[in-house]
Amino acid sequence: MTAIDRTKLKTLQQREESRFLADHPKSAALYNRAQSSLLGGVPMNWMKKWAGAFPVFVKSAKLAHITDVDNREYIDLCLGDTGAMTGHSPEIVADVVARRAKEGITLMLPTEDSLWVGEDLKRRFGLPYWQFTLTATDANRFAIRIAREITQRSKILVFHYCYHGTVDESFAALENGVIGPRRGNIGPPVNPAETTRVVEFNDLNVLEDALKHHDVACILAEPAMTNVGIILPEDGFWRAAQELARRYGSLLVADETHTICAGPGGCTAEWKLDPDMLVFGKAIGSGIPGATFGVSEEVAQRISARIHLDDCDVGGIGGTLAGNALSLAAMRATLEYILTPAAFEHMISLAKRFADAVGENIRAAGNVPRHHRGRHRRAHQSLRLSGRRTHLLGGTAILAVLFIRYDFPRYSLTSSCFCFWPLALLASVWQRYDCLTG
């Protein structure tokens, strides 16, 4: 295996860092100015995690392209971590949003768009009833509250190293088999071991052991884990997991926020899953804040038996701006014109081509160095090259394919690091080949 020359690496890094400073004088000036008004010099502290001494400040973005304040152009391989998976400001969504913005933005009353969106979501995912929030985090939090209320159970179950947004209960992880706060968990309200059971993905035995306590209100899960590389379910995992959930009286909440890239109805439709609740956020409004959760007929009935109108606005589920007219207009335009079945068909075939070619190149390169991280091992073990799995992987490459659709690379990726998603994608391809070779 080729050894990495660390000294050379350090020299290259220093060269790139100096170049970055020289290339971004206006961003540097704005970042310095921001130190006196923004905590850490950025609107949110994670914006500092980009490579380079400071984040670039953006002037504008369109589809797959970003222009910064120094007039440098980039291909955006991050796309707002899928919040802008549809491309930045697709023309039709931008027009609809501009029109709606002049006709009332937030009303605390329904608009007809909400019906259109609810009907469309019902067709896509099969769940009959829908509610709207501002973020996928909120949708997950509200799904959890509902699950707790209707099951009268206190715990939720998540898979080790999941990510579902800033949901307190989900920041639990296993450390030597013991549940505790995940590394970096900021000010946890209680030790998440009190609220959460954590098990390894794809391990039906430990899942059953956890459910046997009869205290799990719901399993909150991505159908395929997308925030820790990409971990695909073993054949038959979800069918068996659903059966276990039903047997022990726990609900299943499918978080399709990222896995929507598998098709117009996410993995739920692609793999014929049957969740009790489903969450979809981020890309649903092309970047305009908005998210949704859907519930089954049975859950809907249990909600109406326990949750009453008198107190529902102060009951922990809601938010003044939730379900606002602007979000719903953006969601409708996105679902009607952008995330359409025809677009998925086209994109997935291109994505498959992309994934196949990357795989071919890796195979041709032969002895490519590989990197295992302990907590991901189960992922490596779980990945195989079956058609269905390849399909999800191809679906993930949708992001890359959007670039092709929307005017592919005229500019090369710069030393800036808008590259999270393709790295995840490539990592997943590598993981796949790890299974074949390692």
Ligand X SMILES: Cc1ncc(COP(=O)(O)O)c(C=O)c1O
Residues that bind ligand X (CB under 6 A): 81, 135-137, 140, 163-165, 222, 227, 255, 257-258, 281-282
Of the pair 166, 242, the CB lying nearest ligand X is at 166
Nearest residue (CB) to ligand X, 80 versus 128: 80
Sign of CA dihedral 192, 193, 196, 199: positive
In the complex with ligand X, which residue's Cβ is closer, 221 or 347?
Answer: 221
- Nearest CA to 46 among 171, 241, 184? 184
Q: Residue 175 CB, nearest distance to ligand X (Å)? A: 22
Quickly list DSSP for 302-366.
HHHHH--GGGGGGTTS--TTTT-HHHHHHHHHIIIIIS-HHHHHHHHHHHHHHHHHHHHHHHHH-
CB of 167 to ligand X, least distance (A): 8
- How far is CA 333 from each of CA 94, 108, 116, 337, rounded to the nearest angstrom? 9, 20, 10, 6
For ligand X, the closer CB: 27 or 135: 135
Reduced to 3 states (helix: H, G, I; strand: E, B; else coil), residue 126 is coil
Nearer residue to ligand X within complex by CB, 179 or 267: 267
Least separation in angstroms between residue 279's CB and ligand X is 7
Cβ proximity to ligand X, 96 vs 136, nearer residue = 136
Residue 18: CB minimum distance to ligand X, A: 33
166 or 381: CB nearest ligand X: 166
CB nearest ligand X: which residue? Answer: 165
Task: Give the angle 361-365-371 at the CA atoms, nearest 5°.
Answer: 100
Sign of CA dihedral 389, 395, 397, 401: positive
Quote the CA–CA distance of 39 and 41 in Å, as a whole number. Answer: 5
CB of 219 to ligand X, least distance (A): 14
Question: Are 147 and 335 a contacting pair, CB within 8 Å?
Answer: no
Q: Closest distance between ligand X and the C-beta of residue 21, in Å?
A: 30
Tell me how far CA of residue 54 lies from CA of 47, 49, 255, 262, 416, in angstroms: 9, 9, 33, 34, 10
φ/ψ of 427, rounded to 5, equals -60, -40
Shortest distance, position 176 Cβ to ligand X, whole Å: 26
Minimum CB distance to ligand X, residue 323 (Å): 16
| Nearest CB to ligand X, comparing residues 180 and 281 | 281
Report the alpha-carbon angle 125-126-130, nearest 5. Answer: 80
